[in-house]
Amino acid sequence: MMYKSRKQKWKVVVFFLTILLALLFIASLSFGASFISPVAIFNSVLSSTPGQYDLVLFEFRLPRIVLAILIGIGMAVSGAILQSATQNGLADPGILGINSGAGFAVILYIFFTQGIRFESELLQLYILPIFALCGALLAAFLIYIFSWKKSSGVTPIRLILVGIGINAAFSALIIILQLKMDPRSFTQATVWLSGNISGVSWSYSYALLPWLIVLLPIVLFKARYLNVLTLGDAMSTGLGVNVNRQRKWLLLLAVGLAGSCVAVGGGISFLGLVAPQLAKKLVGPRNEILLPVSALVGAVLLLFSDLVSRTILAPSEMPIGLVVSAIGAPYFIYLLIKS
């Protein structure tokens, strides 16, 4: 009698996920180069006078945690849209090459501006997402053209295969550009490319937040179209939905989310694959519920990966993208075996 209906089940799921997120949040604040006990964190938050942990907590650890949550949300929602809109359970902005397209644009930007000094690094941070977005759009556009055929439209399998190819091409271009850079920009680019959120300041979150604030409500508004698209093209057309138009809008939103996340966090693959899949297992395929739950799962997963990336091989710190791949790739393989 625990779950009377789906409607109640998702409330339970959201409740548990929120608790999990809160626990991870506290754990992420505690663990690090020095351990800070939850009690000390509590005191530090409550006391009005500056304490000994304030700097570490609010300037080093918290920005990172907030950024991980934001990227987790963005990537997961992007993946969820891609999976529903293309009716393809294996779709993910990383696998499809959208991330490497965005990465290519960012590297191109760093490459052409490496000599120029900006008035502030901050400005650069707000410009990067726009470039990343252009790159992501270019990649998405290429994938779409190459996987479209007159006879059968875009089949899921062809989409993924073409995505793998586009991914390889952009990665090669990135390597070529990278080697033309001066050593300092090279290191900067390498670290960023493997998906890294260590040592970030608050401004990274500020740079990402506007995109999420604008894009996520639109996504939620479009969720009902996503439900219809999941049924297949013929059915959707029958229900009076202009399939291609809505799909293009939704794909644009997914690309926008992925691009802006890549701009601040670098190439994090597989998150957009795993989070929506897990969410679907938990609450079913209705997008009004699936999208928020995917976002929550994405945040939990990325925060968890961040914790692992900092602690598993301490004192060396892994780029978070590697941890996510190490978790996500086996899941992808599992899906492959089952499908």
Partner 1 sequence: MALLNGTNTSRNRFFAIMIVTFGTIILCLSMAVSIAFGAVNINLSTVWESVVSYDPSKTTHQIIINLRMPRVVAAALVGSALAIAGAIMQGMTRNPLASPSIMGVTSGATFAIAMALAFFTSLSPIGTMFAAFIGASIGAGLVFGIGMLSRNGLTPVKLALAGSAITALLSSISSAIAIHFNVAKDLSFWYSGGVAGIQWESVGPAIPVFIISIILAIMISSSITVLSMGEDVAIGLGQKTGLIRTIGFLVVLLLTGAAVSISGTIGFVGLVIPHMIRFLVGTDYRLIIPCSAVLGGLLLVLADIGARMINPPFETPVGAIMALIGVPFFLYLARREGGR
- Residues near partner 1 (CB under 8 A) are 90, 95, 146-147, 149, 151-152, 155, 157-162, 164-166, 168-169, 171-173, 175-176, 179-180, 194, 269-270, 313, 316-319, 321-323, 325-326, 328-330, 332-333, 336-339
Closest to partner 1 by CB, 266 or 292: 266
- Compare residues 53 and 332 and give the one whose CB is closer to partner 1: 332
Phi, psi of 76 (to 5 degrees): -65, -45
Amino acid code (one letter) for 171: S
Shortest Cβ 183–partner 1 spacing (Å): 12
Nearer to partner 1, 124 or 155 (CB): 155
Residue whose CB is less far from partner 1, 157 or 239:
157
Structure tokens at 301: 């997963």
**CA 171 to CA 174: how far, in whole Å?**
5
Apex 201 CA angle, 310 and 186, nearest 5:
75
CA distance 97 to 86: 15
- Minimum separation from the CB atom of position 106 to partner 1 (A): 18
- Picking from 172, 260, 245, 181, the residue whose alpha carbon sits closest to that of residue 214 is 260
CB of residue 141 to partner 1, shortest distance in Å: 14
Q: Is the distance from CB of 79 to CB of 276 less than 8 angstroms?
A: yes
Identity at 16, one-letter amino acid code: F
The DSSP-derived string for 14-40 is HHHHHHHHHHHHHHHHH-SSS---HHH
For the chain, how far is it from start to end, CA to CA, in angstroms? 32
The answer to whether 270 and 71 are in contact (CB under 8 A) is: no
Quote the least distance from Cβ 51 to partner 1, whole Å.
33
Tell me whether residue 129 or residue 328 sits nearer to partner 1 (CB atom): 328
Instruction: Quote the least distance from Cβ 87 to partner 1, whole Å.
Output: 14
SS3 177: helix
Q: How far is the CB of 189 from partner 1 (least distance, A)?
A: 13
**Minimum CB distance to partner 1 smaller for 42 or for 112:** 112
Residues 73, 71: Cα–Cα separation, whole Å: 5
Closest approach of Cβ 309 to partner 1, in Å? 9
Nearer to partner 1, 176 or 239 (CB): 176
Q: How many CB atoms lie within 10 A of CB 339?
A: 8
